[in-house]
Structure 1
């Protein structure tokens, strides 16, 4: 497999999200937003927050398409593949060893996560992480990885972003659950659930959004399933 360099894209945020699932223009064009005046800044922030929340509640399965550089720290070197822990990897942009860029034919990508050296040499057994990857004694891998959310997720993000934007706009009415409980007005009692309760249960309180979460993350996991072992290679993302 020959892997050609591609332009760099977004890098992951601390939460792991690379880019919002939906943009402000899409949310502003929703029919339920026609009679609401919301600032572009509020819409943009709501898109980011809705996307980050759904990314977490869906089990961190859909970060978008990311570009990351990792510094593998294998400990023993070897002929086999190095698990870059960036699954799924779409393209390897660049591999540096001792500051020198390897040719595309010097390695291959297996199972969209394992980097295997094919030039007859082995991966370095260690590296100096305090040095830049342009120096001797270091090595690094830059790759494009991640997954886009499905159409149902984009729709859910649009709805949630709209509700978040309304919540932050004075005079607008939102479908998000309120923090008030046991309200009595004109002889009618209502119980409104604290939003934190919904989030603890892996829900938002908005049916369209919660249907998506239930479909892709029925067990309410907060992270993609993974196997951890002291024998797995360690890496540092830079």
Structure 2
């Protein structure tokens, strides 16, 4: 059985109101739910019935990819920046005039990078976010690269658990 999207993990598999043990199935890449207990998946079901009733089959799973601690830190910095800008105070400078590149006040000079150059380079101006982006995508690719060959047979890859 195929599960659309990247499968992070399977929460539960319910057949006819009976929840299967996690040891009786696994997920192979790309999203293939495979039974390991020797049984087969149901071939049909009652679509009008509520999940958990006899004749039904439901798979509950979380969609997505696992992330590491650096990705969590980068997303946290970006979220914090956006939340500060959305508040009434605008304390992070999100509401500041983006046309200013140099500021002189009471003998102190500040030179700020041109935001149009930062954004055109695919960056945000936030250190952790930009560092993470340059680490995971150093060449700023817009999509993952792929190679197709009709002669290459890919091995089965177990994705979960």
Name the TM tier (shorter chain).
0.5 to 0.7
Aligned: 1:111 with 2:28: yes
| Displacement after TM superposition at 1:133 (Å) | 1.4
Equivalence for 1:128: 46
The aligned length equals 134
Q: Which runs of 5+ in 1 are unaligned?
A: 1-81, 226-238
Change (3 A) 1:110 1:94: closer
Equivalence for 1:137: 55
* Partner residue of 2:130 out of 210, 213, 236: 210
* Partner residue of 2:91 out of 172, 177, 195: 172
Query: In angstroms, what is the RMSD of aligned CA positions?
Result: 4.1
Change (3 A) 1:211 1:131: same
Q: Which runs of 5+ in 2 are unaligned?
A: 105-111, 147-161
Contact 2:2 2:33 (8 Å CA) reproduced: yes
| Displacement after TM superposition at 1:193 (Å) | 4.1
* Partner residue of 1:219 out of 138, 141, 145: 141
When normalised by structure 1's length, the TM-score is: 0.40
Tell me, in whole angstroms, the C-alpha distance in 1 between the residues paired with 2:35 and 2:102. 70
Equivalence for 1:83: 2
Larger Rg: 2
